[in-house]
Every structure is written in C-alpha cells, then in structure tokens.
Amino acid sequence: MPKRELSDSSFLRISRISLVSLYAIIITGSLVRLTGSGLGCADWPQCSSTQFVDVSTGHAAIEQINRLFTGVVSAAVIAAVLGSIFVTPRRRSLIWLSSGLVVGVLAQVILGAVVVLTGLNPWSNMAHFLVSLALVTTAVFLVEHAGATRVVGDVVVSDAKLPTGRMTRRLADLILGLCGLAIVLGTVVTGAGPHAGDENAIRLTFDLRSITRIHSTSVLLCVAATLIFLAQIRRNTSEWMRLKAKLEMFLAVAVAQGGVGYLQYFSGVPAQLVAVHVALAVAVWISALRLWIAVRQ
C-alpha cells in the first residue's frame, strides 16, 4: 500500500482555510449578539427543548446558523491535524499547533453552552471571544510556521531571516502587548455597552464612558509605540526592507480600526459599525502577530 504524503504547499492551504474559518466564526458570533439573537436558541445543545434545529424565528435562525458553522470550523481544524500528520517530512511543531486548534474548538463548544445557560453573562461572553482570539493566534502561528519552511529533497529548509536588534525586538513585544491589552479592554467596553445579545441580558456595571477612555488610551499607547518602532527600523536598512510590508499592513488596519472606533462612539454605537469594529479588531491582532513573528524569526 503506497504511503500517504502531503506536500508543504497543500498543508499551507489547509492551515489558511483553518485560519479563515476561525476568523469567520468570530464575525458570525458578533452578528448573533448585535442582532439581539444571543438567546434565539434558549437551550443547548438543542436549540429548544423540543428541536435540535429551530428556525421558527429570525433570532433562532441567526443563532442556529452560527452554531452550524461550528461544524465547518471543526472540519477545518481536524483537516489541519490530519494534514500535519501526513505532511512530509513530518514536523512535530505543526502537529502540536494544529492539535491545539482542536482542543480550542472543543473549549469553545463548552464555553458556548456556558454563555447560553448563564443567559449571556458578559464575563462568559468575554471569555468566549478571547478564546476565539487565542484560536486565531494559534492558527496564525500554524500558517506562518508552515509557510516559513520548504522541503528540498528530504531536508526541511527554513526561510528564517537575519536577526533583528534588541531594541527592535523589545518594541515589537511592547506593540503586541499593548495591542492585546487594547483588545481585552475592548471586550470590557462591550460587556458594559448596549449590545448585550438580548434585551434581558445583564451588563457590566462599569461606567461606559470611563472604560471607553481607558480602552482608547491603550490604543493610543499602541500607536505611539508603533511610531517609535517605525523610527527605529528606518535606521537599519535590512530591518526596514524585511519588516516594511508587515508594518505598513499593521498601521493601515490599526488606523482604520481607530477611525471606526471613534466614529461608532460619537454616532451612538450603531450595530453595523460595531460589527466592522469587531472584524477589524481581529485583523489588527493578526497583523500585529505577523509583524511580531517577522521580528522574532
């Protein structure tokens, strides 16, 4: 029986599909909350006490679609695990990363049940989103790692870059940390804001204006650190040439995210802009991770 093998390029495509599916389910999850459909399915794992699938109302249909999309995500991460086993030559790091995606999806299923059974408690909602972001983080590392190596004959050759300076690495660490802090604070703002997923869901008791200002401050600090990082790498031609594209991508997405954030705040936090803000938040995190990985290669 011939040995089953998978090429590096094929596995890279599989890992990218996993990342896209994990990104997409964050968007569908945000739409469930923003349309007030968080309790469209009042039970778990069935949608109701009598039906596993229930689309009798608009809210139930929206929540049901999000739940069913979990099946697509599950298939994508399982394919990543199987691909990591059959890719030749086998690399243990790819197996661990893809296996982490499966564990994370299982954790998300359990957290989804907690969210429903606690009536959309904001702390469980926040945990649900942050675990989703952890899954996206793992998927980004999987994609970057899969794409950073190639096979020549039977030898794995790394495409790692030249080392970067200590200050550049420290600034990259600071940017990633501040970006993560801004996202966590953003979930707190959401937990205290008007879009609870259901009109009867409880909210955090923080003063919305104060917590929004704290969140905005963390964003501004991240932008300031990025500008210092920009000035730092421009002094080194090799660093500038290697990091320019990823830095420009991060800056573009971050500026767009900041603009949408201020626009939604001063326009009364409409659901449409919040949806864009959530999508851009994940894009900012992905671009920050890719920049950090490029610095740390």
**pLDDT, tens digit (0-9, with 9 covering 90-100), for 219-251:** 999 999 999 999 999 998 888 999 999 999 999
Q: CA angle, corner 165, sides to 159 and 169, nearest 5?
A: 80
The SS3 of residue 151 is strand
At a CB cut-off of 8 Å and minimum separation 6, what does 215 contact? Answer: 182, 185, 186, 188, 189
Q: What is the pTM of this model?
A: 0.89
Q: In this structure, what token pair is assigned to residue 52?
A: 């596993």
Confidence check: pLDDT of 92 > 80: yes
36 Rama class: left (phi>0) / alpha (psi -120 to 50) / beta: left
Helices (H), the chain: 8-34, 58-86, 92-117, 122-147, 166-192, 208-233, 237-266, 271-296
Q: What is the arithmetic mean of pLDDT over 241-262? A: 91
Tell me how crowded residue 284 is: count the other CB atoms within 10 A of its CB: 23
Is the Cβ–Cβ distance between 56 and 41 less than 8 Å?
no
Better-predicted residue by pLDDT, 281 or 200: 281
Pick 46 or 176 by higher pLDDT: 176
**Is the pLDDT score of 156 beyond 90?**
no
The predicted pLDDT at position 155 comes to 47
- Residue 182 pLDDT > 50: yes
DSSP string, 84-101: HHHBSS--HHHHHHHHHH
Residue 236: CA count within 13 A, CB half-sphere? 15
Average pLDDT estimate for 23-34: 89
What is the total residue count of the chain? Answer: 297
Lowest mean pLDDT among 63-67, 165-169, 253-257: 63-67
According to the model, what pLDDT value does residue 1 have?
Answer: 38
Coil, strand or helix at 155: strand
pLDDT of residue 4: 64
